Amino acid sequence: MTYSESGGFHAKVSAKYLDSFKDSYADLGFSLTRSGDWFDLKCDSGTFKSHPPQYMHTYVHKMFGSIPSLHLVKPLSSESRYSQMAITYMLSYILGMLSRYFPTHWIALLSGEKGDEVWPAIHATQRYVYQSFPELVIEFIHDKLDTPSTASE
């Protein structure tokens, strides 16, 4: 992945992951060229500044003992940009609302009575939040503590 004012943005992205939402980036002005199992994703610096790509670390892999890796993900339709910590918090909030305000449905999901088709996704989300959210918060705190203060005293 590279970026410069004159050359713009260039990234080589796995077609396996990008294929399902490549049109989202094409609509934003990115050019995509497929080369085997990879896409070359390019744009000029103006497009990059107005529509920067949305990245996500794969803390999911860390749950299985491997190193997290950086992935390009589909941008939100509202063109809002949220950090991974914010997205993880939103997932946690949704799960909390489901369990608190719809306890009958939550218990039914846990016991396998109904909604079995959504349980694997909910369970994976629950495991992801449990594993990654504390680490994201700790990383955020460490980054803030390591950054020198710029406020005048």
| CB distance 137 to 85 below 8 Å | yes
Confidence (pTM): 0.67
pLDDT of residue 13: 87
Spell out the domains of the chain, with CATH numbers in brackets: 2-73 (3.30.70), 84-146 (no CATH)
pLDDT band of residue 19 (cuts 50, 70, 90) is: confident
Say whether pLDDT at 74 is over 90. no
What angle is formed at CA 82 by the lines to CA 80 and CA 87, rounded to 5 degrees? 125
Main-chain dihedrals φ then ψ at residue 40, nearest 5 degrees? -95, 115
Confidence band of 18 (pLDDT split at 50, 70, 90): confident
Instruction: Dump pLDDT digits (tens) for 28-64.
Output: 999 999 999 998 999 999 999 988 888 877 665 565 5
Instruction: State pLDDT tens for residues 88-147.
Output: 999 999 999 999 999 988 888 877 766 578 888 888 889 889 988 998 899 889 888 887
